A = this chain, B = another copy of it.
Amino acid sequence: MLAHTTNFAPAPVRNARTAPPAATHGLADALDMMGAPMTFKRNAEIYGENEPAEYLYKLVKGAVRTSKFLDDGRRQIGDFYMPGDIFGLEAAAEHTFSAEAISDVQVIVVKRSAVEALAVRDNDVARQLWTMTRRELQRMQDHILLLIKTAQERVAGFLLEMANRIKARDEFDLPMSRQDIADYLGLTIETVSRTLTSLENSAAIALPSSRRVVLRNRAALARMNA
């Protein structure tokens, strides 16, 4: 484990997002310092369900999903992560979800114990860990709100959320497949596909290719988001 396949540390794409309360920088930098770069190929497992949660991950490049299988084969996607995001925070002693690379992925991996040791010395780091966890919790709550809505509302909400996460304005590529979207939204792949087609027909979006999305009418999408 932890044998990294490449060791280039590319001018580390720091949090270029619009000033997140300045809070995350200490922690993010610390992770960069303490961590080891690693890469994963598309569809590779980064960690598995029920594995001990020994590491934190900062996503540098690519996209990651967390997922969990039910006994009968149904799959639920917990969340998607984009470059700049930190994941692996969710868990207590063991991961309840597994994490997989959606595309080829570059991450910085840090031992949890090291981060926690740092947190004991540096209260700022401790507070930031707490803040990040709360942010994750908020996303879970938003996810719950999505899951009680109609198919159209879920898909519209999903597209708006992705636009934000990717920091794109109106046009972007979805990193994940229709199946991943379906399993995130608790729908079938057919319903997702049909709903996207219907949104395109109503001129709310355009789909130049199956992965590429153009938001043509954000207001309409937001309205659907109930």
- A interface residues, Cβ below 8 angstroms from B: 68, 70-72, 74, 76, 78, 89-92, 96-97, 116, 119-120, 123, 126-127, 129-131, 133-138, 140-141, 143-145, 147-149, 186, 226
Contacts and interface: CB of A to CB of B under 8 A. Distances in A.
Contacts of A123: 119-120, 123, 126
B97 A141 contact: yes
B186 A147 contact: yes
A74 B130 contact: no
A72 B226 contact: yes
Contact of A137 (B71, B126, B129, B137): B137
Q: Which 4 A-B pairs have the closest CB atoms?
A: A140-B140, A148-B186, A147-B147, A126-B126
Contact of A130 (B96, B126, B140): B126
Contacts of A145: 68, 70, 76
A224 to B, nearest CB: 11
Nearest to A123: B120
A134 B90 contact: yes
Nearest to A130: B130
Nearest to A140: B140
Contacts of A138: 90, 92, 96
